């Protein structure tokens, strides 16, 4: 590395230092003026920093692999409000600290939609965290002191968007209900939630059968929320049946 490249690294222009020869060659070829050269450097640095920032946010989001919305079969569900889903994907709810709740039986794409909402938020420059309800409650419940618990609660409440997946698949005791209530309450009217559940709110008491805070929890989730209900048969069951049918031997003619 040349002295100039080292100096560029020292002042934070790492991308320029790494690509200095290419930048000079391009500027020479295009007969760029000093101002144009500086504009090239600034533009390249901004793009590189945006790329690195996006990579960091995606890495911290726990989003993992997911199918894009271009793969979503809108014609399969018996009922789905496509306009509401597309509004959620446009992230209008984030500006107003509103929530999005996706209510659907298993296998109808609610997790896929939630993952795409989180991804759109990341692309838009926001921080997001995608986690199942079971993972969140296991983490919070494992904290061994009030200080450690408060630190984890602040972690879950600091992201502009928290996507909480699979509420309703397991039942929880009163302590877990209280922990979830704290997360929802701390984010209430401050930061947005995206929740997926396989149960209507009338059945949520079955998730927290011994909890006194269930009604208050539901009230805070529902208030300022876009509730998107999806009805129909499971995609996965359809695909499994189609694969089974394809494996059947064809009758000999």
pLDDT, tens digit (0-9, with 9 covering 90-100), for 42-73: 999 999 999 999 999 999 999 999 999 999 99
- What end-to-end distance do the CA atoms of the chain give, in Å? 74
Beta strands in the chain (DSSP E): 99-103, 128-132, 161-167, 192-197, 225-229
**pLDDT, mean of residues 79-91:** 97
What does the mean pLDDT of the chain come to? 92
Residue 79 main-chain phi, psi, to 5 deg: -145, 125
Instruction: State what percent of residues in the chain have pLDDT above 90.
Output: 87
3-class secondary-structure state, position 36: helix
CA 169 to CA 73: how far, in whole Å?
24
Question: Residue 235's pLDDT is what?
Answer: 73
CATH for 69-238 (3.40.50.300, 3.40.50.150, 2.160.10.10, 3.50.50.100): 3.40.50.300
Helices (H), the chain: 3-10, 14-18, 20-29, 34-61, 82-89, 92-95, 110-123, 133-141, 146-158, 174-187, 214-222, 235-247
CA 92 to CA 61: how far, in whole Å?
20
Please list the residue range(s) of the chain that carry CATH number 3.40.50.300: 69-238
Report whether 160 contacts 121 (CB < 8 A). Answer: yes
3-class secondary-structure state, position 162: strand
> Which candidate, 170, 110, 104, 93, places its Cα nearest to that of 134?
170
The answer, yes or no, to whether residue 241 has pLDDT greater than 70, is no
- Element at 241 (helix H, strand E): helix 235-247
pLDDT bin (cut points 50, 70, 90) of residue 212 is: confident
The model scores a pTM over 0.75? yes
CA 226 to CA 113: how far, in whole Å?
14
Question: Residue 211's pLDDT is what?
Answer: 79
Question: Residue 11's pLDDT is what?
Answer: 92
pLDDT tens profile 98-136: 999 999 999 999 999 999 999 999 999 999 999 999 999
Strand partners, 101: 195, 227
CA 88 to CA 116: how far, in whole Å?
10
DSSP-assigned letter for residue 212? S
């Amino acid at each position: 590395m040349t002295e100039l490249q080292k100096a560029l690294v020292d002042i934070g222009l790492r991308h320029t230092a790494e690509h200095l020869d290419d930048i000079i060659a391009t500027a020479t070829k295009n007969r760029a003026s000093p101002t144009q050269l500086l504009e090239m450097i600034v533009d390249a640095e901004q793009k590189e920093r945006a790329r690195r920032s996006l990579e960091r946010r995606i890495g911290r989001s726990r989003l993992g692999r997911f199918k894009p919305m271009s793969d979503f079969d809108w014609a399969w569900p018996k009922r789905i409000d496509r306009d509401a889903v597309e509004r959620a994907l446009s992230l209008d709810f984030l500006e107003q600290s509103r929530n999005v709740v996706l209510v659907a039986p298993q296998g109808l794409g609610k997790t896929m939609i939630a993952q795409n909402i989180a991804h759109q938020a990341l692309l838009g420059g926001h921080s997001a965290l995608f986690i199942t309800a079971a993972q969140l409650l296991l983490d919070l419940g494992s904290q061994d002191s009030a200080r450690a618990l408060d630190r984890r609660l602040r972690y879950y409440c600091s992201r502009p968007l928290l996507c909480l997946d699979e509420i309703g698949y397991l039942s929880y005791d009163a302590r877990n209900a209280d922990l979830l209530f704290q997360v929802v309450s701390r984010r209430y009217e401050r930061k947005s939630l995206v929740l997926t559940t396989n149960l209507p709110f009338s059945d949520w008491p079955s998730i927290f059968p011994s909890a006194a805070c269930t009604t208050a929890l539901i009230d805070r989730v529902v208030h300022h929320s876009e509730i998107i209900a999806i009805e129909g048969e499971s995609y996965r069951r359809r695909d499994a049946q189609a694969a089974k049918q394809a494996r059947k031997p064809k009758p000999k003619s």
